[in-house]
Amino acid sequence: MTIIKQNSKKEDEIFSIINAKVAFGDTVLFDNLNLSLFKNNITCLLGSSGVGKTSLLRLIAGLIPQDQATKTSGIKGRIAFMGQQDFLLPWLSIMNNVLLGARLRKESPETEKAMKLIQRLGLLPHLNKSTAQLSTGMRQRIALARTIMENQPLVLMDEPFASLDAVNRYKMQNISVELLAKSTVLMVTHDPLEALRIGNQILIMHGDPVKLTQLNTEELGTLPRDLTDNHVIRYQKELLELLSMGNKI
């Protein structure tokens, strides 16, 4: 596996952070951090616990203050976000959870579109159940549907499948690749294999202050990638070795 510069074309870039600097008191988390995200691409972000992956998502979402030196370009306005927890409202139906964003903004809900999405996610037989009756996998599918219904060009995902068993995680990866094909996605994951299956761009966050290293994915096939592919198997081993090196990358 080779550490390389950007695989994607500059003209496909729709969001970037340039010279990002974030500090908490005397602790500098990011300093001169650069990130580019591309249209119709899923970028997977890996790194050790506590290195700053979630902080980067929060920076992009405007939830933490940034230094004046930090520059952003591209997408403006709302960003869709999906986290580890589903944050479903138990007093609402599946449909109303999916349409929550529109209702909060007092917009006309796209009920027909939501129904088609619910059907595609295999939730139609459970439509009349309360969210408390649903499995963790079903609840995460509702959270994914709610995220997609936001219809935003940039989607941030913070370990969205971490709580799922292996089978449901595999299914959610496949569904996400299909339903987010026309979005720009930045997804935090601790799972190298997940990144290799669904990441057009794979970044490792490491160092102090933090920096990003991009991996060469040119040998890998189209998404979602086959778990038995020789390149995927080899890259998983090498990616684990790189992650174990931490600040020595």
Distance CA 238, CA 249 (A): 12
How many CB atoms are closer than 10 A to CB 163?
Answer: 15
> How many Cα atoms sit within 13 Å of 70 on the Cβ side?
19
Distance CA 236, CA 218 (A): 15
Model pTM score: 0.91
pLDDT of residue 248: 60
- Write the pLDDT tens digit of every residue in 87-135: 999 999 999 999 999 999 999 999 999 999 999 999 999 998 989 899 9
pLDDT of residue 196: 96
The domain segmentation of the chain, as residue ranges, is 10-79+152-248, 90-151
To the nearest whole percent, how much of the chain has pLDDT over 90?
60
- CATH topology (fold) of 10-79+152-248: Rossmann fold (3.40.50)
Distance CA 102, CA 178 (A): 23
